Amino acid sequence: MNPELRALTRRYVRALQGFLSGRGEAALQEAYDLGREALARGLGVHDLAAIQHRALLTALLAVAPRQEGSRALRAAGKFFIEGMLPFEMSHRRSQEVNAALRDSEERYRNVVETARDVIFTLASDGKVTSLNPVFESMTGWSRADWIGKDFALLVDPDDRERAGELRRAAAGGRAPGVLEVGIRASSGATIPSEIVATVLVRDGRIAGVLGVARDITDRKLAAKALHHLNEGLEAEVKRIAHALHDEAGQLLASVHIGLVEIARDLPSHVARRLEDVRGLLDKIEEQLRHLSHELRPTILDDLGLRPALEFLADGVARRTGLQIVVDGSPGTRLSSTTETVLYRIVQEALTNVTRHAQATRVSIAIERRGRALRCTVRDDGLGFDVPAVLARRGARGLGLIGIQERLHGIGGKLTIVATPGGGTQLVMSVPMEADVADADSSRR
């Protein structure tokens, strides 16, 4: 017996002797406390039984008459039970915890097994450790074939560098966030997927990655359809704008010529009244010109994004009294699609400012950052609660959802920085690589 057990045995013997000599509840409380101490020290039931056995032998040796020994045995039984109570309570708590754990595991298993998305776990080295059944229906692969294999092999080769962020994030102890990658199916097709992942921690140590992969084929098809719809709408808007600018302009020019000819044959006082009519026609012509430019400014097609935004800002400033400044330049012509998208987004942003922001100043900045173009619209207005506005369904979130959809169609991203009372900043970022070549070919 080690010194720790010997010391505890001596204390147990003294407590038992005290109980047998009539100390009553105080001795029983001491037995309970000794049981708790034994449990806290990591001793087991067998250790406590050995202590009790030695204590009983010691106590019985001190009792001479046989009748007295029988009474001591009965009393010691009660004492021993009191000492075992902490172990009994601990055992019951363990059973309750284990039952709750089993119940939790069962619920988790049911969620994983019946989920509509692929739920997977990866080890720290990127090897697949688990996959739920929907993986098989989504990809056509057998789960057993991929357990223990590198997750990167499941990803389309063009996206493997991006998918490597899962492993790098796990190694760094940070959440990888949301990734869009193509998942290879057994048929050879590539399934566009959105992966939401988090670091998997076991016993306080990073054990890998827990991820959820969703098939976003329908979303991609819807985005493509929306992109084609926007292009069709832009073509129709362009046709209407040119009709207003060219055809209506020609008709008004003909009216002007006709009025001049009529004025020659009229008395001077009547001719002066026709001059007033011509003045009204000039205002109509000016309004039609501005309307056609706002629908689809020819300056956007002819000169590019910066001059078109300056023209837009000038018109909005004159109508509303806002001070609007345009700075920067893309440095080169963008594709017609990208220029149109950015123009429409800035147009929508200025509409939001005039309707909701109560601002006095707006700045529009365009700058080239590496392989991306960044366009920022900042105002000094009231600002707003971004999550609350984006959650609106009927109002469509001040057009922000539409802005996001337009940007998504050209591979762009939107960042919104706004606080109630602190103004608003919209930051649009679009890739430049494909635009330069596309811009040249689209204008030949």
Per-residue pLDDT of 164-186, as tens digits, reads 877 777 667 676 667 889 999 99
> How many Å separate Cα 333 from the centre of its chain?
33
Token digits of residue 263: 């004025």
pLDDT(420) > 80: yes
pLDDT at 306 over 90: yes
Amino acid 426 reads L
Cβ partners under 8 Å of residue 234, min gap 6: 296, 340
Q: How far does Cα 107 stand from its chain's mean position? A: 25
Cα 417 from chain centroid (whole Å): 16
Q: Is the pLDDT of residue 79 over 50?
A: yes
Burial (Cβ within 10 Å: 0-12, 13-18, ≥19) of residue 154: buried
- Whole-number Cα distances in Å, 150 to 137, 144, 212, 323, 422: 20, 13, 17, 56, 47
The domain boundary residue, chosen from 296, 324, 349: 296
Task: Give me the chain's average pLDDT, please.
Answer: 80
3-state secondary structure of 19: helix
- Report the alpha-carbon distance of residue 173 to residue 204 in Å, rounded: 11
Answer with the residue of higher pLDDT: 396 or 71: 71
Q: From 215, 240, 274, give the residue that closes a domain.
A: 215
**Are 307 and 444 part of one and the same domain?**
yes
What pLDDT, on a 0 to 100 scale, did the predictor assign at position 442? 47
Average pLDDT of span 234-247: 73
Domains of the chain: total:
4
Tell me what pLDDT residue 66 has.
53
Q: Element (H or E) spanning 366, and its range?
A: strand 361-369
Both 281 and 309 in one domain: the answer is: no
Q: The CATH number of the domain where 154 resides is what?
A: 3.30.450.20
- Is 89 found in the same domain as 168? no
Last residue of a domain, one of 278, 296, 314: 296
pTM: 0.50
User: Which residues make beta-bridge pairs with 366?
Assistant: 328, 375
Residue found under tokens 């026609």: 281
Q: Is residue 339 located within the same domain as residue 410? A: yes
Q: Where are the beta strands (DSSP E) in 124-265?
A: 128-131, 177-184, 190-202, 205-215
Alpha-carbon span 294 to 288, nearest angstrom: 10
Give residue 89's domain range. Answer: 3-110
